[in-house]
Chain A
């Protein structure tokens, strides 16, 4: 059973650029969520994808967008990067439905994005 993997692990971008982060979900999991963890903060929910559709969204602007593919892997795209977008971006996979019982979210190691 493979775990959640994210790529790249580190990335440096310039303000105004666009970035794409990738995530492969854990085997058997068809629900993927993305979180942003700024320095000294807890992870903040960006959005979730289930069956290739957005299933819920946190308080993030539209320049944060995502995709889920038929193999359940996912991408997070951020346009017009700002300095405050510098953070650890975490992907989590889970089974569908309520986040409880055996549907706990399993996280990848994250992508550290630095915007300069």
Chain B
């Protein structure tokens, strides 16, 4: 039962353009969402998060949008840089079990020079 879904296994974008990574969730108890970036041979690195009381959070080139009615969130990276090439994981935590994160399968982003 995949409660957090990243339906695009991979995404290829040109340097300087916008990258949009999508994530859907099914558990209505999720109220906090995070994006992690992972390079090969490294652990996931926290990127940006958003609480369910907000619909947008911005940090430099990274913006996360949350659509609670659609149970959908997206990560926008603009402008994309070759160093952004990595696997991006969407994760969520729920009221009542907020000690753990539920992850999606990840999306491999490739930014071409």
Contact = CB atoms under 8 A, between A and B. Distances in A.
Contacts of B98: 98-100
A108 B101 contact: no
B97 A105 contact: no
Interface in B51-84: 51
Interface string B21-63: 0000000000010101000011111100101000000000000
Contacts of A100: 32, 49, 51, 93, 98
Interface string A38-64: 001111110010100001101000000
Contacts of B46: 104-106
A66 interface: no
Contacts of B36: 107
A105 to B, nearest CB: 6
Nearest to B31: A100
Nearest to B36: A107
Interface residues of B, number: 26
A71 B93 CA distance: 27
Contacts of B97: 56
A50 B42 CA distance: 24
A109 interface: yes
A99 B49 CA distance: 10
A6 to B, nearest CB: 8
A28 to B, nearest CB: 16
A17 B76 CA distance: 45
A43 B89 CA distance: 9
B58 to A, nearest CB: 16
A4 to B, nearest CB: 7
Contacts of A110: 43
Interface string A92-108: 10000011100011111
B32 A40 contact: no
Interface of B: 4, 6, 32, 34, 36, 41-46, 49, 51, 89, 91, 93, 97-106
Interface of A: 4, 31, 33, 35, 40-45, 48, 50, 55-56, 58, 90, 92, 98-100, 104-110
